[in-house]
Structures are given as structure tokens and as C-alpha cells.
Amino acid sequence: MRTAIVTGGASGIGRALARALAARGVAVTVADLNEPADLAGWGKGELEYARVDVTDAEAVAALVARVAGERGRLDFMVNNAGIAVGGTALEMTRAHWDRTIDVNLRGVVHGVLAAYPIMVRQGHGHIVNTASLAGLVPAPLMLPYTATKHAVVGLSLALRAEAAEHGVRVCVVCPGFVDTPLLDNANPGLPATRVGAAARQAIGHGPGRLYSADALAADVLRGMARGKAVISAPASARIAWRLARLWPGGAVRAAQLASRLVNRGQDGRENGPRDGGPRPPRSA
């Protein structure tokens, strides 16, 4: 039986991916901070929950070694756990940066460090890293998030190049906005910001009006089967990515416009420093 580990598998995109894999008969380990209450009802296929914090490299390594050892193989390592941060560059503190790098980037690195050698030894396997459209375009008002997602894209594509000769496949998932609890939980455990406090409002779509995690999971499995390097959805995300490649300067201009619109939408004026001090020069 094929096996998979899905980090962040208790909620949102990870949950949808875990369920979709299980529905295809894959034995799935849902690795997350909290156990999903309804795991038993997720359908056919063997499912287990393992508590893991992806920022803990040793815990991730122990989990991956245990699953591969017990099952005799590891087919899919889905490094998906992530957090959202939102706010202007002026609002982002060192804590926002550190936490985002720890979860969104180091979490993926820990999964790769643990799973890749096992997959190379067995001569097959598929590493799936969840980045974001924010890893492909200059997404403003969430600098640490954008930076870590760009890093995950680079890591994934470079690893894909190395891994091919070992029979190991690597892809990176770059969704636009997807309807998950993440959009209501920006800056978890971190200092509040004006934009981050209302991410869903800033996007302008309430629950049920965004792309669903189940639709994305279907896109991901289809993209994996086709051997895609970058899996991006919905179509609007793929268009934004394509435009950014064709016209990088235009992408920055569009990001500038979006940043101003969101800022103005928050309080009727552009955000300045929180202490009300002087604005930085326009060229900063």
C-alpha cells in the first residue's frame, strides 16, 4: 500500500489533500499540531494522526522514519503546514519574520531533510511542497510570507532538478486564495496588525466565495499525475503568474496598486508608522 505524510493535514488544503489521497487507497499520516475531530469519518484508506510541530526538525525526522519503517515505504511527503502573516512592512516585527521562517520555510526544509534520503534509497517518491501564488509574484502586505513562499518555490524546483536522477519527483503547489481557516487566522500568536486582522475582508470575499480546498486538492493530484513542477490554481492565479513572468515591472505596479487599495480600505487612508511618526521618503 502506498503511504503519505501530510503536514498541516488537519485543516484546509492539507486536510483536503489527505482525504483525496486516502480516497485513492493511500495510507495517510495526518501530521499536525491538533488532531482533527472527525478523522474516523474521512473515508476509505488507512488514516492515522501524528502530533508534530514542523518547526521541530528532530520530531519531523522521527515521524518520517517511523512511518517509512513501519510501512516499509514512503511514497508522498506533503510539506504543507503553514501560517499566514499580514501587515505592512512597517508593522512586521522580528517575531513575524522569525515565526514565518520557522514554520513556512524551515518546516518544509525539515520535511525534505527527513524524507528525501529515504526516497533516494528506495528509488522513488514524490515530495509535494505547498508554497503559494505569493511565491511567484511580488505579493505585498505580507513580506515574511512572500519571502518564505518564494524560498519554497526555489527550493522545490532546484531539488526537483537534483532528484530526477534518483527517481524522486518534486513539485510545488502555488494556489491563489483558497477558502480555509488560514484566512481568518493571520498573525497567530503574533502582534496584531491592521491589515492582518482582516485578511478575508481585505480580499473582499466571504466564506464560500473563494476557491475550495477540495477543488485545489483535485488539481494537485492531477498535476502530480502529469508530472508538473508548479501546480497553480485557480485559473486567476495562473493568469497572474503568467502576467508576472511576461511583465515583471507590471507585476510590481499591480502589487503597488493592490497595496494602496487595501491600505485605504482599512481606514480610509494609507498606513504610516504605527506610532504616528513621520512617513518614510517615497523612495524608501
Ligand X SMILES: NC(=O)c1ccc[n+]([C@@H]2O[C@H](COP(=O)([O-])OP(=O)(O)OC[C@H]3O[C@@H](n4cnc5c(N)ncnc54)[C@H](OP(=O)(O)O)[C@@H]3O)[C@@H](O)[C@H]2O)c1
Per CB under 6 A, 139 contacts ligand X = no
- The residue from 18, 83, 109, 170 that contacts ligand X (CB under 6 A) is 83
Contact yes or no for 39/30 (Cβ under 8 A): yes
For residue 71, give the C-alpha cell.
Answer: 510501512
Taking the least distance from each CB to ligand X, the nearer of 113 and 120 is: 113
Q: What angle do the packed helices 248-267 and 235-246 form, to 10 degrees?
A: 120
Per CB under 6 A, 220 contacts ligand X = no
Q: Compose the 85-124 pattern: x for residues touching ligand X by CB under 6 A, - for all others.
A: ------------------x---x-----------------
For residue 100, give the C-alpha cell.
Answer: 514565518
Cα 247–Cα 174–Cα 83 angle in degrees, nearest 5: 120
Residue 149 beta carbon to ligand X: minimum distance, rounded to whole angstroms: 7
Question: Does residue 145 have an active-site annotation?
Answer: yes
Q: Give, for 1, the enclosing helix (H) or strand (E).
A: none
Order of strands across the sheet with 125-130? Answer: 47-51, 27-32, 3-7, 76-79, 125-130, 168-173, 230-231
Per CB under 6 A, 54 contacts ligand X = yes
Give dist(CA 27, CA 281) in Å, integer: 56
For residue 170, give the C-alpha cell.
Answer: 518534486
Per CB under 6 A, 192 contacts ligand X = no
Give dist(CA 16, CA 145) in Å, integer: 22
For residue 197, give the C-alpha cell.
Answer: 486582522
Give dist(CA 196, CA 201) in Å, integer: 10
Residue 147 beta carbon to ligand X: minimum distance, rounded to whole angstroms: 12
Taking the least distance from each CB to ligand X, the nearer of 123 and 208 is: 208
- The residue from 4, 5, 6, 10 that contacts ligand X (CB under 6 A) is 10
- The residue from 28, 136, 142, 182 that contacts ligand X (CB under 6 A) is 182
- The residue from 181, 191, 206, 227 that contacts ligand X (CB under 6 A) is 181
Per CB under 6 A, 55 contacts ligand X = yes
Task: Count CB neighbours of 160 within 10 A.
Answer: 19
Taking the least distance from each CB to ligand X, the nearer of 71 and 200 is: 200
Per CB under 6 A, 13 contacts ligand X = yes
Per CB under 6 A, 177 contacts ligand X = yes
What SS3 state is found at 138?
coil
Q: In terms of residues, how long is the chain?
A: 284
- The residue from 34, 44, 225, 281 that contacts ligand X (CB under 6 A) is 34
- Count of residues that bind ligand X according to CB under 6 A: 30
Cα 13–Cα 124–Cα 32 angle in degrees, nearest 5: 30
Place of cell 486567476: 236
- The residue from 3, 27, 39, 82 that contacts ligand X (CB under 6 A) is 82
Per CB under 6 A, 263 contacts ligand X = no
Interface segment toward ligand X; rule CB under 6 A; list 2-10, 89-97, 245-253, 261-269: 2-10
The site for ligand X (CB under 6 A) is made up of: 7-8, 10-14, 32-34, 52-55, 80-83, 103, 107, 130, 132, 175, 177-178, 180-183, 188
Residues that are catalytic: 145
